[in-house]
């Protein structure tokens, strides 16, 4: 479930950065079209990988329930951090993506 959480948080942050307003606020420049598309594709890919991780760890019945719980928890964390600590939200996304291979090895 930790792997799913890390991937979901990274995916939601990538989707957040695909929007002009959040990208400008967090990184200080407006994104190009190519960067926006790349962030959007990366975000959806990370969310799909988190679904795969949850289902492979617990099966379809419990895995989907855990995945929806992880989706809500990671989305809530990002929504609460973004207005007050945007740099912390961005650095947590980087840490989560760096820690996800470790969590994958620990899971299997």
Domain coordinates in residue numbering, the chain: 2-107
How many Å apart are CA 24 and CA 30, to the nearest integer? 5
d(CA 39, CA 70): 21
pLDDT at 107: 77
Query: pLDDT tens per residue, the chain (108 residues)?
Result: 899 999 999 999 999 999 999 999 888 899 999 999 999 999 999 999 999 999 999 999 999 999 999 999 999 999 999 999 999 999 999 999 999 999 989 877
Tokens 């419990």 label which residue?
A: 62
């Amino acid at each position: 479930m930790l792997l799913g959480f890390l991937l979901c948080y990274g995916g939601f942050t990538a989707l957040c950065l695909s929007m002009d307003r959040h990208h400008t606020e967090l990184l200080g420049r407006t994104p190009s079209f190519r960067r926006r598309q790349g962030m959007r594709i990366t975000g959806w890919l990370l969310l799909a990988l988190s679904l795969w991780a949850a289902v492979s760890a617990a099966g379809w019945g419990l895995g989907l329930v855990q995945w929806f719980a992880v989706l809500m928890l990671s989305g809530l964390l990002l929504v609460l951090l973004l207005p007050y600590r945007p740099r912390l939200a961005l650095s947590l996304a980087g840490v989560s993506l760096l820690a996800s291979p470790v969590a994958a090895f620990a899971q299997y």
